[in-house]
Amino acid sequence: MEPILQTVDLNKIYKVGKVETHALRGVTMTVNKGEFVAIMGQSGCGKSTLLHLLGGLLSPTSGKILIDNEDISKVSDAKRTDIRRRKIGFVFQRFNLFPTLTADGNLRLAERIHVGNGKGSAEKRHEILSLLKLENKMNNKPLELSGGEQQRVALARAVINSPAIILADEPTGNLDTENSEIVLDMFQELNERYGQTIIMITHNPEAARHCGRVINMLDGRIVD
């Protein structure tokens, strides 16, 4: 098994005025290529902080983060941004779709930002939208979609460029059971069909059942 993401003794302290919050307290973990991992734990235990550090969106106070054996806390901001763009897809709970573009248009935009030449694949967009049961909604704009459908389009956008690593922060947090199932099935499909590595924060025990492994956190630490 080949590691794709590793952390070594990761610490994160937030400072707001004089108040310090020790959000991560020595997190050491390894995720191998092709794993589908859930991160669980009560609110405030540091899950989002860990995910943001893994994706290079935050810098650690101390410790190492390795993506494909490269320490991303040591490289320049420009290099880190480049690694993130090439290898990582983020799924957040809030989804900022472009309101004037259709579902398909939002995906085309993501493709253009990624490859820079406007060359996307209509076939790939159709495949992803079909996996998410949105094939009949390709030409709808966000306001013409339900909340669950908008979330699914945002998800399609995060995975359209086939990132090696998908980081998802409570992707089913705002969804009803039916929409949650569609989203979880899609993650499982991407994981099994394309071997994409997925790390998903969730509170949903059902969601954790789709995953190969659960990492439990408590007060900034991994517990088992």
Ligand X SMILES: Nc1ncnc2c1ncn2[C@@H]1O[C@H](COP(=O)(O)OP(=O)(O)O)[C@@H](O)[C@H]1O
Q: Could you tell me where the beta strands, DSSP code E, fall in the chain?
A: 3-16, 19-32, 36-40, 62-67, 70-71, 88-91, 165-169, 197-201, 213-218, 221-223
Using CB under 6 A, which of 10, 23, 97, 154 touches ligand X?
23
Answer positive or negative: Cα dihedral of 170, 64, 165, 157: positive
Give the residues across from 30 on adjacent strands.
6
Structure tokens at 164: 């090696």
Q: How far is the CB of 50 from Mg ion (least distance, A)?
A: 9
Is residue 204 at the binding interface for ligand X, with CB under 6 A as the rule?
no
202 binds, among ligand X, Mg ion, none (CB under 5 to 8 A by kind): none
Using CB under 6 A, which of 9, 28, 30, 44 touches ligand X?
44
Radius of gyration of the chain (CA): 17
Using CB under 6 A, which of 9, 20, 21, 212 touches ligand X?
21
Is residue 48 at the binding interface for Mg ion, with CB under 5 A as the rule?
yes
Q: How many residues bind Mg ion (CB under 5 A)?
A: 1
Is residue 43 at the binding interface for ligand X, with CB under 6 A as the rule?
yes
Residue type, 62: S
Residues in contact with 160: Cβ distance below 8 Å, sequence separation at least 6, in sequence order = 107, 110, 111, 114, 120, 124, 125, 128
Using CB under 6 A, which of 6, 35, 36, 49 touches ligand X?
49
Q: How far is the CB of 159 from ligand X (least distance, A)?
A: 22
- Interface with ligand X by CB under 6 A: which residues? 14, 16, 21, 23, 41, 43-49
